[in-house]
Every structure is written in structure tokens, then in C-alpha cells.
Structure 1
């Protein structure tokens, strides 16, 4: 301990910031005189009150007393972990504490043992205080639309809304997003019955967008899905397994990285907006003609990851190879469970070899390889066609037995490889 105590304050504060809770931080004052007042300067504070049988009135008092003694000029992060026993009336005191200390990052997480609980509602003060917030993360609560004053987050750059409910529905969600004029990162992970049908994101400043709609109740006569207008976007991660519609109102000239995992067959508008991406991860639905605008070429694409869970994945793969002349890295994986009622794809030898295989592809990786007939055909085509390939890695699915793996390894090792420098790795 003496050697640690000799470190500079900045290093010691970094150590204290990594402790699990503010209670642990305060406990260090008894270590020695050197540590007696250090806890008062820690810029990151985590308050854990998600265990059972806690008195939230006493918890709020503890938070306020702790912050009164706290002497740091700025609190970077204030993180509350709260159990479902907490009532909505206990939350305002915590938000007031964040507002009074000009906190830059506020995290409020509600932890529940199961779905049969009374949800915690975050108060209107969240929208009228905390004007200095730069990052706001909310998880598993109700976001009330009963506000006396207009919603406003003038300094907010990062917003995460995870498993939230919005009694005000689409209108309130749109108001909330539009109240963040300099927002750069938005994460929205929806849940069943969250009251938002169409997630509308019209934010000119947005650089990173994560939308996750894995589960959603469809209401007859009401469209669901998302609307995007984000001309500055650089990174996009879309997961929508609800068969909802997708409307993209602009091209994305700054896009660098995009993941598109959707179930709706109409993908033309969405894929057409991200043709300038350098990194793409695609899992698209069964569609005989994979939909993106004819003639579009992914000239900047250097890294492509394709999922094999849908029937027409080979069609998607070959079309992307033909339209990605600069591709250097190709990864194939099965990211989702196969649907037993869907037929598996058939391999058809292309009439010509894509330009990227002749000129640029250097790395080929296949994860969760099953050794099905169409998979062997695709692997054989890539290995015998890629002139510049340096490394090919085949990773069998973990469910494959060892004797089957040995058989697959033998089959692959006998395949002709065009590149004289290619290293074939079977792991």
C-alpha cells in the first residue's frame, strides 16, 4: 500500500474511479492519511442500489451527503444502478444531484428480476434540468411525456435508450430526438409494447446510429419500422427482425462502417444509401433478386462480412463480389439459427470471376462452417479463383464432432488454391 500511496494524485484517482461503487470509494479514506481526502476528488461515481430490501429514502440521503462532501470541480460520470423496488418518487432527488454538480455523463439503469414488476417512471425534471449533459444512458424504465417545459438537451452528444417505454408514442419519441441539436451518437434498442411504431431519426449532426428492433408487436393499420435522415452518418448498425418498413431520406456520403441485419425484403433504398462504406456486415432476407439499385458499385468497400442464415445468401455474396472491386477481406459466418422450413441454396458456377478475386482479395475467413454441399462449392470457388489470397481460415461450427472435423479438414486441404502464397488454416 505504501508504494501505491507514493503515486501521483491523477493515478490514484484513476484507481479509485475503477472501484465498483461510490461506497467502496469512500471506504478508502481509512487506509492512511494520504488517502483520507482523495475520495472527495474522484470524477466517476457509481451508486449501486439494485439489491433487495433497500430503503431508497436513505439511499437518496446518502447520495446527497456524499456529493455535498465531494470536492471535484467536475463529475465526469454519475451512474445509478437501481432496483425495481425504487418508486418513481425517489428518482427526482438523484436527477437533482446530477444537475447541481453539472455532470457530463448520467447513467440510470433499472434492474428487475423478471417482467412482472411495476415499471419505474423517470420524472419530467430529467428534461428540464441537466442542461450540461453530454452523455445520457437510460435503461429499462418509462420515459414520461408529461413535461411542463419543452424538452431540451442543448449539450447532449450521446444518447442511449435501451429497453425503454414511451407513453407518448411516436410523437414524444420524435420530440425527444429533435431536442438534441448537436447529437452525434444515438442508440435505440426497442422492446415489446414500447408504444413507438416508427422510429424517426432526422438528425443532421448524427455520426453513429444503432437501431435494434428484434421484437415488436405489429398493430393492424399502423406502419412500423424506421425513418432515417442522417447526412453526416459515419457508422450505422441496424437490426430489424420485425419485417417493418425502412425509409432513408438521404445518401450518406461520410459512411465508413455499416451493419444491416433486416427481415424486410425491400432493401434497395437502404443499401443504395451506403454504397460508399468501407466495411459492411450484411444479413438480408430471402429474395431471389437481392435488392439494391442496379449499377451501384461499392468502390470503397474493403471488408465484407456476409451471414449465411438466409436461403439466398449465395446470391447476395456473388452480387456483392461483382460490385466490390476493391475488396480485400471477405468473411462468411452463420450468425443466426437456420430456419428448418426454408430450403438451402444451390450453387451455380458464375460465368466470370469477380474483379476483386483477381486483383485485391487477401484475407478469407469462414466462421461456423458446416461443410454443407453449397458451402464446399463456395469455398472451392474462392480458393481456386483468388490470385492474391494470403490467408484463408475455416472455423467449423462448435457442434461438429471431431471425426467430422477431420473429414472436413481433409476435403479442404485437397482443394486447389490459386494463390501460391496462401496459407490455409483449419481451426
Structure 2
């Protein structure tokens, strides 16, 4: 009796996934009539595409494949086995979710492959748990987009095993089995962390970051979760922080060494700790879609003595029922307006009362201003002309300030 034929398909594929080489996978097919159903497909892969793949791998050490609903799980097992055998250094697996409703579970042999990888890019796959993970001693770039995990602890172990990781991109999807996504990598230089807009979060959902060598941070989260930064980032140069939850002040307070800062925050109070100074900040972008953007702008101007350029633009739609921003002119002029600010660019200017007051305040106090560029999206030519007249009448502290309106 062929006992192997009685085993469930998942178990058969599990056995194949644990085999060390592609030749072993093919040889094992002869042991069971059930496995012979996979035989022709596997033989074709080994006799045709494998030859092409080996040539690519020898020359470029790269394996990149995108799969749709027509693929078989055995395809993944075989290709990962080939990747391990050929010592691939650059591996990309992209599953087309639009054409495949069945979860794609990657075999444990992937972790063996990671022992030689420099770059690993995974999209829309499910990772398998493992009691122990190898040291990913050569992995420098890791992208995990819409990936599902065994749980929080697995993520923590996975990233802590990447001892030389420099570039990390994460996009958390709905139902990814992770509540707190912990990024604790001392070697990390760039981190791009996203939460998908359809993600349903709980009160304890969020990111925990411990990356003191970070130079670039991109944080995009509109799901209402939290972000805790455990250590300051003294090497940070660029940071984009787009969040709509109530702040934990660690985020901005930990990146006060930043030079280029892009903000879209739904709050201004307690955005960062009192006494924080952005002593190297020279370029500031602020989104004007939130109600409190004016207060946030004034706070950052006050605490950025070397700021040279400001860009204001509306990145997101404004709800009709959303309260209008409140403008309170500061009692003292920020130091950057007196000694360093050279350019102001304002996109989607609408000429509201509070916008006119902010523009007038900057023009009136900007001693070093060289250029103010303001653009409007209105198609009403009369309204545009009226806005231009109003702006032209504002007094300018700097005699060298050029006003451009589009």
C-alpha cells in the first residue's frame, strides 16, 4: 500500500520544503504515485527554467519572481531551494493578491537562504514560524510589504537577527498577526514604516523603535496607533512624520538633530518635549490639512534657529465640517525669521483670513527673505487677482524679497 499517498497535501508539501536541494525534491517524487502528480511540472521546471535561472544567478546572484493565481506552492519550494543551492544574494518574491486569494506560506528553507542574502524583498506572503532563526549576517536591505507573521515575538527575533541591516521598509497590512512591531536594530540607517489605511488597530497597537544610528525615518500612520522611540537618534538627517493619533512626544523629541523635516500631524500641543531645539533644521515642510497646523508651524519656527526654507502644502482633503485653524500671533519673533529664513513656498494657498495673517507675519518679520512663492489652485481669475493684490500690499522687512504668485 502506498502510505505516502494517504497523507494530506499540506504535509506532502511540508516534506518537500525541508529537502536540501532541488535534485532531492525531484528524486523524492518517485516514492509516491500521489507525488507523481507534481512530477511533470517539477521536471519541466528543472529541465528548462532552472537552466536559465542558474545563468542569471551565476552572473548577477539575483532571483526575482512575481506569482499570480496560476502558480503552485511547489513552484515556491523549488525556487527557494534553487536560491539556497546557488547562494543567491538578492531575492525578491512578489505575490499578486488581486489574482490570488489563497495565502502564500513561505517554507522554512527561506531562512536558510537568508544566511547568504544581502537584499530580501517580500510582498504579500505569509512567513512560517521557526523555533530558532539563523544569524542573517550579510542582510543589509529588508522590505516586508503586506506580510503576515507568526506574531510579535517572531518579528522581534527576525529583526534582532539582522546584525548588519541598514535599510528597512515595512508596510503593515490588516490581520498581519502583529500588535507591537518592534524595530531594534543598532546598525539601521534608514527606516520606512507604514500602516495601511484599512488596518484595524487596537489600543496597544504601534511601533517600538530602537535604532540610534538612524539617518532617515519615514513614519506614515493614520490608523490611530502609537510610536515609541526608546533612544535618541543623533545622526538623523531626514524625517517624514505623518500621523493622526495623539502624540507620544518621543518621536520629534528624539530627532532634534534632523536637517530636513516633513510633518503632517493632527495635533500641535505636546508634539515634542518642552526645551527641545531643532538646532540643525534647515528645511521644513508642513501639511496644512490638519486644524492645528498653524500652532505646529509657530512652535517649530520658535525652536529652529537655523531654519532657511519653509514649504506649506495641503497633502490631504479637508472635511467640510472640519474646524478652521486658529491663528494667534506669537508675542516674540522667532529667531529664524530674523537671522536665517530665506525662502517660503506655499502650495494651494486659498487666501483665508488666517492664511493672510500668517503670510503677512512672515513677510513683515523675515529680514533675510529672498523669495516667497505662492500658488493657488482656484480657477476663478477674479479671486486670483484679489489674492495677488492683497499679498502685494503686505509690508516686507527684507528689501531683497521677491514675491512670486501663480
For the criterion TM > 0.5, the same-fold answer is yes
Q: Give 2:299's aligned residue.
A: 319
Give the Å deviation of 1:61. 5.2
Q: 1:142 aligns with which of 126, 132, 140?
A: 126
Contact 1:77/1:106 (CA < 8 Å) preserved in 2?
yes
Deviations 1:309-340, CA, capped at 9 Å, x for gaps: 11111111001001000001111111112133
Q: Is 2:351 the counterpart of 1:368?
A: no
Q: Give 2:50's aligned residue.
A: 64
Partner secondary structure for residue 266 of structure 2:
coil
Residues paired across the two proteins, number: 365
Distance, in Å, in 1 between the alignment partners of 2:379 and 2:141 is 42
Q: Is 2:249 the counterpart of 1:265?
A: no
Which residues of 2 match residues 81-96 of structure 1 at below 5 A? 81-96=66-81
Q: TM-score, normalised by structure 1?
A: 0.80
**Gaps spanning 5+ residues in structure 2: where?**
1-39
Deviations 1:138-184, CA, capped at 9 Å, x for gaps: 11121222x37524422101100011111x12121112111211111
Deviations 1:218-270, CA, capped at 9 Å, x for gaps: 24xx6101111111111101111122122111111111111111122223111
**Gaps spanning 5+ residues in structure 1: where?**
1-54
Q: Give 1:119's aligned residue.
A: 103
Q: 1:211 aligns with which of 193, 200, 210?
A: 193
Contact 1:251/1:274 (CA < 8 Å) preserved in 2?
yes
Residue 123 to residue 347, structure 1, CA distance change in 2 (3 Å): same
Contact 1:306/1:333 (CA < 8 Å) preserved in 2?
yes
Q: 1:410 aligns with which of 364, 385, 389?
A: 389
Distance, in Å, in 1 between the alignment partners of 2:211 and 2:398 is 42
Q: Give 2:93's aligned residue.
A: 108
Contact 1:127/1:152 (CA < 8 Å) preserved in 2?
no
Give the Å deviation of 1:73. 4.7
Q: Give 2:333's aligned residue.
A: 353
Q: 1:165 aligns with which of 134, 148, 169?
A: 148
Which residues of 2 match residues 290-329 of structure 1 at below 5 A? 290-329=270-309
Deviations 1:65-105, CA, capped at 9 Å, x for gaps: 2134x277542432212213323221022222323333222
Residue 421 to residue 138, structure 1, CA distance change in 2 (3 Å): same
Q: Give 2:116's aligned residue.
A: 132
Give the Å deviation of 1:274. 0.5
Partner secondary structure for residue 286 of structure 2:
strand
Distance, in Å, in 2 between the alignment partners of 1:348 and 1:380 is 13
For the aligned residue pairs, the C-alpha RMSD in angstroms reads 2.2
Contact 1:265/1:286 (CA < 8 Å) preserved in 2?
yes
Deviations 1:192-216, CA, capped at 9 Å, x for gaps: 1111111101111111111101432
Residue 396 to residue 128, structure 1, CA distance change in 2 (3 Å): same
Contact 1:255/1:276 (CA < 8 Å) preserved in 2?
yes
Contact 1:84/1:120 (CA < 8 Å) preserved in 2?
no
Give the Å deviation of 1:305. 0.7
Distance, in Å, in 2 between the alignment partners of 1:315 and 1:306 is 11
Contact 2:364/2:396 (CA < 8 Å) preserved in 1?
yes
Contact 1:290/1:315 (CA < 8 Å) preserved in 2?
no
Q: Give 1:97's aligned residue.
A: 82
Contact 1:224/1:245 (CA < 8 Å) preserved in 2?
yes
Q: Give 1:174's aligned residue.
A: 156
Distance, in Å, in 2 between the alignment partners of 1:402 and 1:97 is 64
Distance, in Å, in 2 between the alignment partners of 1:372 and 1:56 is 66
Partner secondary structure for residue 142 of structure 1:
coil
Q: Give 1:245's aligned residue.
A: 226
Partner secondary structure for residue 156 of structure 1:
coil
Q: Give 2:358's aligned residue.
A: 378
Contact 1:211/1:238 (CA < 8 Å) preserved in 2?
yes
Q: 1:330 aligns with which of 310, 335, 357?
A: 310
Q: Is 2:209 the counterpart of 1:225?
A: no
Q: Give 1:421's aligned residue.
A: 400
* Moved beyond 6 Å, runs of 4+: none
